[in-house]
Structure formats: structure tokens, C-alpha cells
Amino acid sequence: MNAEQSLKEIAQEISMCKKCALHYSRKNGVPGEGPSNADVVFIGEGPGFHENVQGRPFVGAAGQFFEELLKTIGMRREDVFITNVVKCRPPGNRDPEEEELQACKGYLDRQLAIIRPKMVVTLGRYSMARYISNAKISHIHGMARRVNGLLVVPFYHPAAALHRPSLRAVLEEDFAKLPELIANTEQVPEYAYEEKNEDQAEQLSMF
């Protein structure tokens, strides 16, 4: 089976999945979309109202802003893989619960194993927590680090900027760093958690 077919199979499984309580209220599972050989995978939180209706990630207001941000660096949503840490909509857009995150984790693990991107960009706290624990997004947003071999760049969630306009410029600045990072992924060394605290991490940032 090739990569594209494997991703389709995962999407099919998600559409029928009952591993957590989120399946009760979903209209459509939202597996994510994009090229099976994408260099960059963006990971959001979970589907919202419109995503649940359409079965596609980031198609509501936050998605529109996300597309605008991509445009500022000459990229289109078709160029990247876009997905979420939970594939079904949490009712009323509440935060996903630990049990749901755990139940859903395997799907994203498998997607990433197939796509093998050069980098993942986490959007918001929940996807950041997949890779980086005990960190404040306000301290480390926009700073690349390598986690178990994978280059991870934590960003604020675009929806956060819709509520807090001051974050708009922050997200724009962080997006502006991406082209150079994508071109130089191999230059970011493995991050040694135990030796460095957050302040040192800021000093170590190359970009």
C-alpha cells in the first residue's frame, strides 16, 4: 500500500471510530488533509463547528486566518498537511480531555509515520503538549527544537489571535520564520530537556 492509500485507510477508520466519547456527537470525523509527502505538518487542537460539518480541518474562521498566514510566506494550504490532535469535534468546542487525547493519539502517530515530514508546527497548547511538557507557549512560541529526531515548532493557535488581536502580529512573525527553518531543518540540534531550562532554551534558539 502506498502512502496515500495508507492515509486514506486511516481516514476511513476515523470515520467509524468509537474509541472515545467524542464519536457520539460528531457529524464527520476530521482526519486531516494534505500531500502524503508534505514537508510540514500543522497540528491543531480539534475540529470546530464547520470542520465537523464538512469533515475537513481548519475551514472556519480560524482556518481562514491560518490560510492568510500561510499566504504571507508564499504557501498554500495544499502545500502542507493539516490535522488535529483529536479527530472528532469536542461538543461546544470545549477543550479535549486527557482520555480523548490518549484514545486518538494513535491516528496522528500513524499519519506522521507515513508522511515523515521535515517539521511539525503545533498550533496551540494541546498539540504542543504532545512534544513539549512543562513549557509556556508565551516563552517558546516560534522556537524550533528537535524532539526524538523530529523538528517541532510551537505556534500560538490562530483562533487565539481572533480573541486576542495582539497575537496577530506574533503569529505573523512566527510564520515569517518558517521558510528559513524549512530550508535549514538539519541545523537544529536534538534538544536536551534535562540540561536546559526554558530561559536557556531561548538563548539557544538559532532563529
Least Å distance, CB 67 to ligand URA, is 12
Binding string, residues 35-74; x marks residues near ligand URA by CB under 6 A: ---------xxxxx--x-----xx-x-xx-----------
Answer yes or no whether residue 22 interacts with ligand SF4 by CB under 6 A. Answer: yes
Answer yes or no whether residue 31 interacts with ligand URA by CB under 6 A. Answer: no
Q: Which of 41, 103, 108, 140 contacts ligand SF4 by CB under 6 A?
A: 103
By C-beta, is 97 or 172 nearer to ligand SF4?
Answer: 97
Least Å distance, CB 121 to ligand URA, is 12
Least Å distance, CB 148 to ligand SF4, is 22
Residue 201: which H helix or E strand, with range? Answer: helix 198-204
For residue 150, give the 3-state DSSP assignment.
strand
Instruction: List the end-to-end C-alpha distance of the chain, in Å, as a whole number.
Output: 39
Helix axes 98-115 and 3-16, enclosed angle (nearest 10) = 160
Residue 198: which H helix or E strand, with range? Answer: helix 198-204
Dihedral sign (CA 88, 152, 140, 67): negative
Least Å distance, CB 164 to ligand SF4, is 27
By C-beta, is 41 or 188 nearer to ligand URA?
Answer: 41
Binding string, residues 128-167; x marks residues near ligand SF4 by CB under 6 A: ----------------------------------------
Instruction: Assess contact for 55 and 28: CB atoms under 8 A.
Output: yes
Least Å distance, CB 105 to ligand SF4, is 8
Of residues 71-100, those binding ligand SF4 (CB under 6 A) = 86-88, 100
- Residue 20's binding partner out of ligand SF4, ligand URA, none, with CB under 5 to 8 Å set by partner kind: ligand SF4
Q: Which residues pair with 150 in a beta bridge?
A: 147
Residue 98: which H helix or E strand, with range? Answer: helix 98-115
Instruction: Assess contact for 109 and 131: CB atoms under 8 A.
Output: no
CA–CA distance, 44 with 157 (Å, rounded to integer) = 7
Strand pairing category for 119-123 and 40-44? parallel
**Interface with ligand SF4 (CB under 6 A):** 14, 17-20, 22-23, 29, 86-88, 100, 103-104
